[in-house]
Structure 1
Amino acid sequence: MHSTSSPFPSVQRRKLLGAAAGVTAAGFLTACSGGTKVGAGQNGSDDTPAFSGGEYKGPKVTLEYWNGFTGGDGPHMKAMLAAFNKQYEGRITVKNTTRRWEDLYPAMPTAISAGKGPDVAVIHNDQIATFAVRGTLMPLDDVVSALGLSESDFIPAVWQAGVYEGKRYSVPLDVHCLADYWNVRHLARAGLEKAPSDRAGYEDALKELKSAGVAQPFWMPNKWQAHLMFMSLLWQFGGDLYNEDGTEALWGSDAGEEALGWMTEQIRKGYSPAQVAQDSQYNAFKNDKTSFTWDGIWQINDLKSAAGKIKWDMAALPTIGSSPAVWTASHNFVLTSQTGRDKNKAQAAKFFIDYMSERSTEWAQAGMIPARNSVRAKAEIARLPQIPLAENVDIFRFLPALPGLGDVQRAALELAVQKAVLGQQSPAKALAEGVETAKKMLAENKQKYAK
């Protein structure tokens, strides 16, 4: 049910977001023939006229647009595209290709190299570094300049996510994070009006819910969402993911053990089944079987459609550790090196990004948090259920800007979390083994992605 995908040792390092956990940097490298840049010598970024804003005045072009909006956010994106194609019929046609994120990312480099990929795409912030370092993206500094965009109107970490090696490669569209969803009727049975925001209150609520007849009020996943929950808790307990230069995994710390220990504790206490299949925790919540679930805000519209089955509400994740924090990601518009081979397409694609970025108000209806402060302040946006989650943007945490990090997360961190939640290893042992795997992979990535 997930349509989407993180923090840094410091605010300055918060540059990219975690999204589809199964992204394969290995597939990217294979497509790039080891160290060859896909766009090397053909991205056209040096001789493509700078974008100055305003209407597109070139000949008719067709743009290939790829994204991974396969969930409840998909219809909103399709509606925005339909409006664009209708308005600019005869000048620009945008052809939409929607694929699962975990399929889209490894497919893009090969397709772009063959000239059969996207001209413009939406990717998560944690993929920008990987694609940029291989020359697969075109810089967008001229677009940002023409639009008059600056960090002052954005959540700083989201704005910085689009910059790699001093060049801007993306225009942020939104922010999306985990949230705490609760079953209103279940909580009423336990004498609660809303979910507690602190550890003691949350744990007491689970105990009361079980006593009130909810056999297993908080199902603990071992796959999707599990690693996002773990990272959120890691930061809450004061831990970090990786060191400053991306050579060492830090999530095997005491903070990591506390985070993963709390997750497995919910199973030992009987609040969750021992083995929860992919997406089962969300489906159980949607079908009125569980009281709480931590899931992404991209589920809002899907839950609205389930109004006859469940009465629900949502808030920020409870602070289980010492300070609030939550895994966060961002969707970003990018131009590919394929576009740079055609000056007219490059200009049309930049105009398309301009058009779409101005309509983040409409995109907020998909359940996302607009990346721009000025948009979130609009009255029609402020009333949306996800907007209160951005009252304190300092709690947002993002994955660091490390090329190839998706593979490390999948093969090391996510696997460690899974083993512990399934009871195959203790949190300490699972994390220790995962950190060793991560160390080797980070070292390999330094060589793979060397300039």
Structure 2
Amino acid sequence: MALHHLAPRRTPAGAALPAGPGLTRRQMLIGSLATVGGVAAASALAGCAPTASASGLHQLAYWHLLSGGDGINMAGLVDQVNALDHGYEATQTVLAWGAPYYTKLAMASVGGRSPDVAIMHASRVAGYAPGGLLDPWDLDLLAELGVQESDFLDRVWAKGGLDGQQYSIALDSHPFIMMYNLDVAEQAGVLGPDGQLAPITSPDQFLEVARAMQAVTGKHGLSYGYLGDGAQMWRLFYTFYKQHDADFDLSGLTATVDDDAAVSSLEFIQQLLDGTICTPNGDYGTAVSEFMSGESGMFFTGVWELPTAKNSGLAFDAQPIPTLFGTPAAYADSHAFTLPHQSSPDPEQRRASYRFVADLLQNSLGWAEAGHIPGFQPVVQSAEYQALVPQAHYAPAAEILNYDPEAWFTGSGSDFQNYFLETVQGVYLDGADPAEGFASFVRRVNVQLAKPNPV
């Protein structure tokens, strides 16, 4: 890998931009600690590409953690924008989801082998940007390429900001939603005159609808799998918790929470897991199979399950999880584009990276067809997107989304949701006291808050 000693970056208008900061002692320490942990192999990954190939195209290294159907769809999207002939050719490196990906991304940033562009969950940015592992976006250059703040929902854009800088640009939002079986709903008499599920506005009404659907299926009214899965547990809990208009603040030395809202949310989940409305001890795979085979009427899941539902041949629709506790709210995260830190980024290589991201955003209808809600609102507002069903029916969930409470140890693929699993699964599975379970979770979170951010 050639090392380039470059002058400060310049925008096309000629305004000087400061080069990225050099490697700091803190970053060196992170690299040393990660190596001790056995992840030094990250430095062997090809993250540093030449500024241009013999063909004149800028060769861009693009890392992400999207596998399965998402990975296939992303590969197609990358092929699509590469074919636009906008002066770049992006090559994907797909790494294992979760901790392995985020560790290797940090190692690449501190080891001088970072990719040009990388996907992160927006909920993880707060843990990475303060340590200098990400470079901020030049919003003027993005605007020149047709991407600006006004193109995003306020909550989605704000999640990428920190200390007046923008460190991530959302490709999408992927909220927790509710799918429902149209045939079961019709037989249960719970469809409205528009052919969609009639509005549900209270916990008791939801229980009534679920029981009516169970009477049709003969098995369950609702599919929801959580066993051994802290993410699934947290997604539903946090949706109901935020519907109480409750705060979950991790900015201090101890967590600031609403115990009453937490207990109310957990007690309602216990009501759902009664063996009739929903199985009390199912995992996620079981819930998917049950709903797709027509053995339940509703399904709490993420938008990423849309391709599975479509491939099942089921007649279904989807919507945001009903507002049962007064405040519209949904748990969500976003896949977001970041610029892993480079000490001396080549200006033209960076510009090609910006062009690549702008093209992905502006051509993200294909990503929407797979289920995710595009972050770039001109796509959501297009006639093509509005014709997508059920996507257009659950798109309002992006307007009420709630990311994980902000701390260095929270976010998708972190241990935060595992703490919830360890301390609260007994509340779900065994009917343990919700107040005691939640208090145990808060104590576990406070242990983490007492520790410094290692990044």
Q: TM-score range by the shorter chain?
A: 0.7 to 0.9
Counterpart selection for 1:304 from 299, 305, 310: 310
Task: Select between 264-273 and 254-263 the one with higher mean Cα deviation.
Answer: 264-273
Structure 1 residue 163, shift from structure 2 partner: 1.2
TM-score by length of 1: 0.79
- 2:228 corresponds to 1:219: no
Partner of 1:197: 200
Aligned equivalents of 1:334, 1:189: Cα separation in 2: 48
Structure 1 residue 437, shift from structure 2 partner: 0.8
Counterpart selection for 2:443 from 421, 428, 436: 436
> CA 1:56/1:203 → structure 2, altered by over 3 Å: closer, same or farther?
farther
- 2:369 corresponds to 1:365: yes
Counterpart selection for 2:81 from 76, 80, 84: 84
Structure 1 residue 239, shift from structure 2 partner: 1.7
Aligned equivalents of 1:343, 1:152: Cα separation in 2: 26
Cα contact 2:280–2:429 (8 A) shared by 1: yes
Structure 1 residue 354, shift from structure 2 partner: 2.3
Q: What are the residue-to-residue correspondences of 1:52-451 with 2, within 5 Å? A: 59-88=56-85, 92-102=88-98, 103-142=100-139, 143-147=141-145, 149-193=147-191, 194-195=196-197, 196-199=199-202, 200-222=204-226, 223=229, 224-243=231-250, 245-251=251-257, 253-268=259-274, 270-307=276-313, 310-338=314-342, 340-384=344-388, 385-391=390-396, 394-406=399-411, 407=414, 409-423=416-430, 425-445=432-452, 448=454
Could you say what secondary structure the match of 1:79 adopts? helix
Could you say what secondary structure the match of 1:229 adopts? helix
Cα contact 1:286–1:303 (8 A) shared by 2: yes
Aligned length: 397
Partner of 1:46: none
* Higher normalized contact order (CA 8 Å, seq sep 6+, divided by chain length): 1
CA offsets 1:101-143 (integer angstroms, 9 cap, x no match): 3132222112343445532111111111212112111111243
Structure 1 residue 177, shift from structure 2 partner: 0.9
> CA 1:372/1:416 → structure 2, altered by over 3 Å: closer, same or farther?
same
Could you say what secondary structure the match of 1:305 adopts? helix
Structure 1: state its 5+ residue gaps. Answer: 1-27, 35-54
Aligned equivalents of 2:68, 2:171: Cα separation in 1: 17
Structure 1 moving runs of 4+ over 6 Å: 55-58
Cα contact 2:320–2:397 (8 A) shared by 1: no
TM-score by length of 2: 0.79
Name the larger-Rg structure.
2
Structure 1 residue 151, shift from structure 2 partner: 3.2
Could you say what secondary structure the match of 2:430 adopts? coil
CA offsets 1:303-339 (integer angstroms, 9 cap, x no match): 11111xx221111111221222111222211111248
CA offsets 1:359-389 (integer angstroms, 9 cap, x no match): 2333322222222333222111112222333
Percent of aligned positions that are identical = 24
CA offsets 1:389-413 (integer angstroms, 9 cap, x no match): 3447552222344323244622433
Could you say what secondary structure the match of 1:294 adopts? strand
Structure 2: state its 5+ residue gaps. Answer: 1-27, 35-51
> CA 1:287/1:211 → structure 2, altered by over 3 Å: closer, same or farther?
closer
Cα contact 1:119–1:339 (8 A) shared by 2: no
CA root-mean-square deviation: 2.9
